[in-house]
Structure 1
Amino acid sequence: MKNLLLQYKPFLLFLGKFLLTYLLLTILYQSYLNRFDASKSEVDSFTQMVAQQTGTVLSWIDSQSYTMPHLKEPSIKIFYHHKYVSRIIEGCNALSVIILFVAFIIAFTGKFKPTVLFILSGSVLIHVLNVGRIVLLSIALYHFPLYEQLLHGVIFPLVIYGIVFLLWVIWVNKFSLHATVTTKK
């Protein structure tokens, strides 16, 4: 048994750090969300910020684009060419994706300063790309409403998770302690 633990120690350490970080950040995020009352259609501040930024970018493309709070559910409506095309709910703000990203980076340890800088820059990149994703999705839904399931359920999640995967690959190969060890060999 001891030999097995020693043999799989790197994997077990990775798994332990990942799960601990993921659970801690998820609990913190959930406690943040619990401050808002969904039964009163309250939308959390971060989701509101994402919706506002999405509305701003959409208005650069079309002056008849805007956002407004949904009165019957905790979401923000998006209008493009004065047409209600989509809504932003808490799950659209990409914070859960950022939590997953951060947990992986922390689990695949690197030096402190590069780790913090990569987490910050990667999180900002994911946020910016997420706003862009919502903008493009809203425009696509205006022009191709029949493809909502394909666009929202397949193509756009592939984009955001694909970017996160690429960031992970870059981290592991360039900045993690594993990359340092393999480069020295």
Structure 2
Amino acid sequence: MKKYFILYKLFLLFLGTFFLVYIVLTVLYQAYLNSFGENKLDIITRMVAENTNQLFQLFDANFRIEENESQSFIKLIYDQKYVGRIVEGCNAISVIILFISFVVAFSGKLKATLLFIFGGSLLIYVLNILRIAVLSALIFYFPKQEPFLHGVLFPLYIYGVVFILWLIWVRKFSRYASKDIK
């Protein structure tokens, strides 16, 4: 058994670090959410809705958001038509937690790690706003395609971005990055 532990030490260290960071960040995020109480919307989700609205206003679109007082979501209304809602799961924090956990598990120099986490998290947040805006417009024009758009295409988009960021991190910045790549 000791032989296998030594043989797979780096892999086990990666897994342990990944899961430890993921669990800690998830517990902290859950505590943050619990601080708002039941049927109350958290600040980050409100910010995502407001940023989506601001993006539409840049293009003079007939778009507005409307908070549901009895439940914890924000309605998205495009050209007077209800096209969807933003709930806590739409704010991309769980995706950012996954991203951070991977980067820390493959950490490099502290400054590079922190900068990549900050930049990558900001990029994921901004691309999530774009995802919600484009998804809202597409559902307005193609309502029958909503299951495909929301359930397949846009998760592929956001997780694809995270995967590309991971590849960049591992190949260019992590302690395992090859220094002889030209």
Could you tell me the TM-score, scaled by structure 2's length? Answer: 0.96
1:83 aligns with 2:81: yes
Count the aligned residue pairs.
181
Residue 109 of structure 1 aligns to a residue whose secondary structure is coil
Q: Give the residue type in structure 2 aligned to 1:44.
A: D
> What root-mean-square deviation, in Å, do the aligned CA atoms of Structure 1 and Structure 2 show?
1.2
Which aligned runs of 4 or more in structure 1 are off by greater than 3 angstroms?
none
Q: Give the residue type in structure 1 aligned to 2:173.
A: F
Q: Give the residue type in structure 1 aligned to 2:138.
A: A
Matches within 5 A, 1:96-107: 96-107=94-105
Identity of aligned residues (%): 51
Q: Tell me the residue number matched to 1:4.
A: 4
Residue 37 of structure 1 aligns to a residue whose secondary structure is coil
Deviations 1:125-154 (A, max 9, x none): 000000000000000000000011000000
Q: CA deviation at 1:58?
A: 1.5
Of 112-121 and 64-73, more deviation after overlay is shown by: 64-73
CA distance in 2, matches of 1:136, 1:72: 27
Of 17-26 and 56-65, more deviation after overlay is shown by: 56-65
Q: Tell me the residue number matched to 2:126.
A: 128
Q: CA deviation at 1:184?
A: 5.1
Q: Tell me the residue number matched to 2:29.
A: 29
CA contact (8 A) 1:62 1:80 kept: no
- What stretches of structure 2 of length at least 5 have no aligned partner? none
CA distance in 2, matches of 1:5, 1:133: 43
Deviations 1:34-90 (A, max 9, x none): 01223xx31000000000000111222344211010133200011111211110000
Q: Tell me the residue number matched to 2:159.
A: 161
Select the structure that is richer in helix: 1
Q: Tell me the residue number matched to 1:183.
A: 179
Q: CA deviation at 1:160?
A: 0.1
Q: Tell me the residue number matched to 1:139.
A: 137
- What stretches of structure 1 of length at least 5 have no aligned partner? none
